[in-house]
Structure 1
Amino acid sequence: MPETPHLYLVPTPIGNLEDITLRALNVLKSVDVILAEDTRTSGKLLKHFDIKKPLESYHMYNEHKSVERLIARMKEGTVMALISDAGTPAISDPGFLLVREMIERGFTVNCLPGATAFVPALVNSGLPIDRFVFEGFLPIKKGRKTRIEALLNESRTMVFYESPHRLLKTLLQFSEVFGPDRTACVSRELTKIYEENVRGTLAELIDYYESHPIKGEIVLTLSGKK
């Protein structure tokens, strides 16, 4: 029989609670403790599915100092699950540091398949998806312009995460670097009631969002250089 993992990475719904898998529910019910990015957010999810397991905080502000403590507990036999507020842990969320350290020390890690925002956004975009690159969040200030300019000759479709209050700024910067005729898609509130996918050139998207203030979680998909 394969060794029982010391850590499970468990994807959680990005909006619609029906998107959680049966396996994810079974794992969350079986582990000793659940590490959560925000225990308040995750507490609501676990309550909805009647999962009564201890919750502990594991987020970007404490992950560096938490790794050694968590590994020590795993050496004692504690089995843990890591979840983020939404989607797959370690995809633009905490998790990478813990996974890397565990692998280097010979612990068993198991990542379940499941919800993640960039896949439906990419497929919904109508842009080529045979080859793509996931860029996650751009730097907020330092290095932002350099990061965008480094993608000038990227021929693959590019996928970004962005916040609503920075979306228009990002579209304007993309237009300056890639040109106003480059096509893109803005996906908002995926899997939720007000899901929206707006497609067009960067110039058209800028015009649209200058008169349509936006809220919610956003995935921005940009076509590559022809």
Structure 2
Amino acid sequence: MLTLQTPATSKPVPSFRLGLTGGIGSGKSTVAQRLAERGAAVIDADQISRSLTAAGGAALPAIAQQFGADLIQADGALNRARMRELVFAQADARQKLEAIVHPLIAEQTQARVRQAISEGCRLIVHDIPLLVESGHWCSQLDAVLVVDCRESTQIERVMARSGLSREAVQAIIAAQASREQRQAAADWLLYNDEAMSLEALHAYTDQIAAWFGL
């Protein structure tokens, strides 16, 4: 089911910036992929973050200086497992890491936005898993699309695809914004629960793309 509230503008504007978010297992990535297939420029915040901490990534020198060179693996990439342990063990480690990574993500995001605008792209989709949690995106977006489903559906989907335990998935969900918080932030709400087929999800996503002439 697709619910359309009144977006920030009643008609598509050149290079409309749409925030896309949803809890783990909601189907957000499937929606992003479909929008990309229809011609949207999809900017994936997680993908940018991963590239910054891959071998040769721009964030690595500052991370090594802040946390120690032992956080960098032999292949030159960030040791993600050790960083996760550090973030859990030290209360301020997450803030220090975000202070390094977030400005670089913003810099690369803006570069990709400028490129999409120069290419005349009608729809720029910002794929941001923690859009609601971040609190600073609203001023940069024209509207927000939330992909939503019940928590029980999230758990079953993530367990099936990742092999994580129910408790592990529940912990991830608990660390994210609640469904109610995401729904409150939504201009458009796409309800993608277990009864929704992939074909139906694509059809609803195509309705959104069509609104932009894609």
Q: TM-score scaled by structure 2?
A: 0.34
Q: Which has the higher contact order (CA 8 A, sep 6+)?
A: 2
Structure 1 or 2: more helix by fraction: 2
Structure 1 or 2: more strand by fraction: 1
Q: TM-score scaled by structure 1?
A: 0.33
